[in-house]
Amino acid sequence: EDKILQVNNLKKYFQMGKGQVLKAVEDVSFYVKKGETFGLVGESGCGKSTIGRTIMGLYDKTAGDVTFAGKNVHALDEKEKFSFYRSMQMIFQDPYASLNPRSTVREVIAEPMEVHRLFSNKQEQVARVYELLEEVGLNRDHANRYPHEFSGGQRQRIGIARALALNPDFIIADEPISALDVSVQAQVVNLLKDLQMDKGLTFLFIAHDLSMVKQISDRIAVMYLGNMVELTASEALYDTPLHPYTQALLSAIPIPDPDIEESRERIILEGELPSPINPPSGCVFRTRCPMAMEICSIKKPAWQEVEQSHYVACHLYDDTVEDKTPLKRLSTV
């Protein structure tokens, strides 16, 4: 299979002053296959957007490497960068914030084409804008209006049209539906799926919960406090979640999944999300984990493939750990 993106042992730290270091991304490795949707899920502050931005080359990396279409994205020369940004585009959570309010929809969508001098002929460019509007379920009558005249869902469609303007291969969608109503979320997800089919797009789909991600993702990775804690095919993650954090996230999905017959027992996580400036020793999840054992504060769990293509970082699945007595009882409601 064709791995269009490879992320190897990526670390991204931010210097916070007073000698403090924010460990936003801690040693994360994964790949994305051409044509798939790879879901990246976790609470805000878990490092998922930082991964997206580091892959995009918007942030330099602290360690590790990101390879896109065979090239190290942090070692591109100016010319290579230019073509890289044609191949990889981003969609943002708040389409309103990412669209210039003083530009018409036509200007917003045409801007990347102008930067990349895609058309020398203005009429061809306008024709392309109309075509893009239709591809995202809008129409040419919308072209001369301003972003504030549109609903959230329509604005996200405009953001998608803009991202498609350069015919990219790969789109990083950073919480593209989180700010939208549930009914509109499904429409945008369906649009993204249709566009993927038509254009053979590859998506990195970033989300803060698991509710919609299953509909669109082939594989899903779950992140917690800068660490990847579980990664597997979408169905396997929903059917047999292994990591206690994934289990808690799944139990919190408000709308019951019609594919799952009995609703899951809700797992309430105790405690606050620790600061990535001062993460817990050993397993970063241990301060909130209902299954935490003695070893969890001492040793960081290894990232291991416990079933075929099912990766998890948790001592519960480590055969060399002898004492798996939980420190406290599982709290549920």
Interface residues with ligand SF4 (CB under 6 A) are: 243-244, 283, 285-286, 289, 291-293, 296, 301, 314-316
Name the binder of 67 from Mg ion, ligand SF4, none, CB < 5-8 A by kind.
Answer: none
Query: Of the candidates 199, 137, 203, which has an alpha carbon nearest to the alpha carbon of residue 174?
Result: 203
DSSP string over 176-199: TTTTS-HHHHHHHHHHHHHHHHHH
Residue 94 or 135: the one with the smaller Cβ distance to Mg ion is 94
For residue 62, give every residue at least 6 positions away whose Cβ sits within 8 Å of its Cβ, in sequence order, or none: 11, 12, 13, 25
What CA–CA distance (Å, rounded) separates 263 from 253?
10
Which of Mg ion, ligand SF4, none is residue 41 near (CB under 5 to 8 Å by kind)? none
Smallest distance, Å, CB 206 to Mg ion? Answer: 7
49 binds, among ligand SF4, Mg ion, none (CB under 5 to 8 A by kind): Mg ion
| From the list ligand SF4, Mg ion, none, partner contacted by residue 296 (C-beta under 5 to 8 A by kind) | ligand SF4
Using Cβ positions, the residue closest to Mg ion within the complex turns out to be: 49
94 Cβ contact partners less than 8 Å away, ≥ 6 residues apart:
179
CB 312 → ligand SF4: shortest distance, Å?
8
Structure tokens at 307: 């079933």
3-class DSSP assignment, residue 138: coil
In angstroms, what is the minimal distance from the CB of 249 to Mg ion? Answer: 16
Q: How far is the CB of 241 from ligand SF4 (least distance, A)?
A: 12
Question: With respect to ligand SF4, which residue has the nearer C-beta, 153 or 282?
Answer: 282
Q: Name, in order, each residue with C-beta under 8 angstroms of 102's C-beta and a sequence gap of 6 or more.
A: 146
* Min dist. Cβ of residue 175 to Mg ion (A): 6
Using CB under 5 A, which residues numbered 46 to 65 contact Mg ion? Answer: 49
Q: Distance between CA atoms of 50 and 58, rounded to whole angstroms?
A: 9
- Residues engaged in binding Mg ion (CB under 5 A): 49
